[in-house]
Structure 1
Amino acid sequence: MAPQYQIRADYDARTIVVHQAYSPVIADAALRAGRFVAPFSFQRMTWIKPSFLWLMHRSNWARKSGQERILAVRITREGWEEALSRAVLTTGDPAALAQAAVHVQWDPERSARGAALNHYSIQVGISRHLIRAFNDDWIVSLTDVTPQVRKAATLMRSGRAAAAQALFPTERAYPLSPTLENRLYPRG
């Protein structure tokens, strides 16, 4: 059984993949540039999620309006851990949260069919104060995984869950230092 709070992600020695859902106009511009560019907004928080299935639940498998395109955003682990080191839990002190460059929220992880599981998935909100570093320094690559998402969704709907799961990224527990665990894991 997975621990109640655990970051599960597709990562290697240098990078980690986070997922985001966008409208086609934002996704196309970003893919052409290899970075986020207008009409992406640098004035608001952007939420990144290492959990593929959580984003599939949130975007309804790329069928929600404004979330029709799914990007796998490969960022440096150094940038990821910098974000985590600056994070404040959304359930914490409101004054600290208002000043934080990064927000962390834990939501129930999801099964491939969208059912809430009994452990939590992290979402990391990068504020406008740190979003340029995210975009300019941390991003290694952007990949449009929308075709794979649509194929997996079709397989799920037709009862072919095993075939669909073969299209999911491999996610495993991401190692955190005790300092980051203390900062990120809710108490109580």
Structure 2
Amino acid sequence: MTIPTRQIRASFNNHTIRVYQAYNTAIADSALQNGTFVSPPFKMERMTWIKPSFLWMMYRSGWGEKDSGQNRILAIDITREGFEWALQNSLLSHQTDQYPTKEAWLEAKRTTPVRIQWDPERNLDLEPLPHRAIQIGLSNKAVMLYVNEWIQKITDVTESAHRFHQLVKAGEFEQAENLLPSEVKYPLSVSLKERLEM
């Protein structure tokens, strides 16, 4: 079955959806201790990107082995209401036909707290696939809601990421595939699909 170019795939249940972030040890330990992100060391004023795709997070963080402040991988379960609020209050990170002029797009950008990027999904070798994975950038009000209301649980999955990498390096692709988190199509309303240009 061919996956559409733009489709949100995620691990979710009736109440929550799982997203991933990578941070340095100070931010990760603080978040795990407090059950959410606190400032300091987390910077509330910065845009923070959440990603439902496990393999895209592995690509971005180099399996949690990059020495770039992204050595700890966190799985964050947030409310589906919060996730869909973010989508409803989002803007694609580049100008589209929804905004006929650059000025109109820039005005929308100034007043919209969430950015959306569609980047190539990755396989176990972290090579790009034809379909896309969604990245959701939260700023301003969206960050405050994320930290104070949406987050339900934070899990450190760094060791799991390292184990996956070892299996991939050993050529044990079938075993690695079987251990991957189950990510399936996330149901969206017609209006959200239109906003995300799906």
Normalised by the shorter chain, which TM-score bucket? Answer: over 0.9
Tell me the distance in 1 between the aligned counterparts of 2:93 and 2:20.
Answer: 20
Q: Percent same amino acid at aligned positions?
A: 46
Tell me the distance in 1 between the aligned counterparts of 2:182 and 2:107.
Answer: 37
1:161 offset after TM fit, Å?
1.2
Tell me the distance in 2 between the aligned counterparts of 1:57 and 1:166.
Answer: 19
Tell me the distance in 2 between the aligned counterparts of 1:117 and 1:172.
Answer: 16
CA RMSD of aligned residues (A): 1.0
Q: What do the CA deviations read for 1:45-81 (whole angstroms, capped 9, x no partner)?
A: 0000001111111111101221101000000000000
SS at match of 1:97: helix
Q: Which amino acid aligns with 1:50?
A: P
Residue pair 1:104, 1:124 contacting (<8 A) in 2 also: yes
Residue pair 1:17, 1:73 contacting (<8 A) in 2 also: yes
Question: Equivalent of 1:133, from 145, 163, 166?
Answer: 145
2:98 — aligned with what?
none
Query: Aligned pair 1:83/2:95, yes or no?
Result: no
Q: Which moved more, 1:133-142 or 1:157-166?
A: 157-166
Q: What do the CA deviations read for 1:109-166 (whole angstroms, capped 9, x no partner)?
A: 1111111111111000010232111111000100001111101101110111122223
Q: Which moved more, 1:164-173 or 1:74-83?
A: 164-173
Tell me the distance in 2 between the aligned counterparts of 1:168 and 1:97.
Answer: 35
1:25 — aligned with what?
26
1:6 offset after TM fit, Å?
0.1
Tell me the distance in 1 between the aligned counterparts of 2:58 and 2:159.
Answer: 13
Residue pair 1:155, 1:163 contacting (<8 A) in 2 also: yes
1:167 — aligned with what?
179
1:50 — aligned with what?
52
Residue pair 1:148, 1:167 contacting (<8 A) in 2 also: no
Aligned residues: 186
Q: What do the CA deviations read for 1:61-114 (whole angstroms, capped 9, x no partner)?
A: 101221101000000000000010000001122332232100001001111111
Tell me the distance in 2 between the aligned counterparts of 1:75 and 1:143.
Answer: 12
1:40 — aligned with what?
42
Q: What do the CA deviations read for 1:22-46 (whole angstroms, capped 9, x no partner)?
A: 1111101100111101201101100
Task: List structure 1 segments (4+ residues) > 6 angstroms apart after TM superposition.
Answer: none
Q: Which amino acid aligns with 1:89?
A: L
Q: Which runs of 5+ in 1 are unaligned?
A: none
1:178 — aligned with what?
190
2:8 — aligned with what?
7
Q: Which amino acid aligns with 1:7?
A: I
Highest Rg: 1 or 2? 2
Tell me the distance in 2 between the aligned counterparts of 1:155 and 1:7.
Answer: 26
TM-score of the aligned structures, taking structure 1 as reference length: 0.96
